[in-house]
Amino acid sequence: EPEVTQTPSHQVTQMGQEVILRCVPISNHLYFYWYRQILGQKVEFLVSFYNNEISEKSEIFDDQFSVERPDGSNFTLKIRSTKLEDSAMYFCASNQGYGYTFGSGTRLTVV
Amino acid sequence: AQKVTQAQTEISVVEKEDVTLDCVYETRDTTYYLFWYKQPPSGELVFLIRRNSFDEQNEISGRYSWNFQKSTSSFNFTITASQVVDSAVYFCALSEGAHGYGGSQGNLIFGKGTKLSVKP
């Protein structure tokens, strides 16, 4: 069964550093998403991406965040100047209209 | 605005008991989709079911069943004869609208989740 692949599975970074979280969506999917889950809390929508541009973003997705689809397969989330409160599990998902497939997540720890 | 409420924060049952997880949603759209996901201790999100707003038929899949009632805006999930492996956090989620292909592409709004502990 097709999968959404996320790398790395766990990343530790110093406060103030930039991180890039990587995702490879399912190849024939056209809609891509990033979600965040702070430990013990609910899963929150960050951003959706379609046709090489952001289609929707939440209040959480401020100027610190950016997304990119640099080639035909990767979908990245960049966090500039990380803060302690950015520590969370970040999930990538893709969709072709029949349901969402989530990756297994990247656990980001900011120290 | 859309909202998903899972009033039960934690539920603890003994193996073989039946358990129902409640989900109540709010939306102004007439077309929407409801989902249940399971999050085991390993952290990944496991898709369980998707239901669109025009299909109120209840669904059964093995020990799992879902009861969708538009009149009460509820989409409850029942596990029959629970097992220890069912221990996880379960999330209900809502996606509004139908775009393009007529499927669900809007972003998901999740409830806060219900932590289910099944003890042997």
How much of chain A is in helix, strand and coil states, percent to nearest 5? Answer: 5, 50, 45
Which of A58, A97, A105 lies at the smallest CB-CB distance from B103? A97
User: CB of B93 within 8 A of CB of B3?
Assistant: no
Q: How confident is the model at residue B30 (pLDDT cuts 50, 70, 90)?
A: confident
pLDDT in tens, A39-60: 989 999 999 998 888 988 999 9
pLDDT in tens, B60-91: 889 999 999 999 999 999 999 999 999 999 99
User: Which pLDDT score is estimated for A27?
Assistant: 87
Q: Contact A35/B108, CB-based, under 8 Å?
A: yes
A99 to chain B: nearest residue by CA? B104
User: Which pLDDT score is estimated for B102?
Assistant: 45
Q: Which residues of A touch B103 (CB under 8 A)?
A: 95-99
User: Which pLDDT score is estimated for B101?
Assistant: 46
Interface test with B, best of A54, A61, A89, A100 (most B CBs within 10 A): A100
Q: Is B40 on the interface with A (CB under 8 A)?
A: no
Q: Give residue A80's identity as a one-letter amino acid code.
A: R
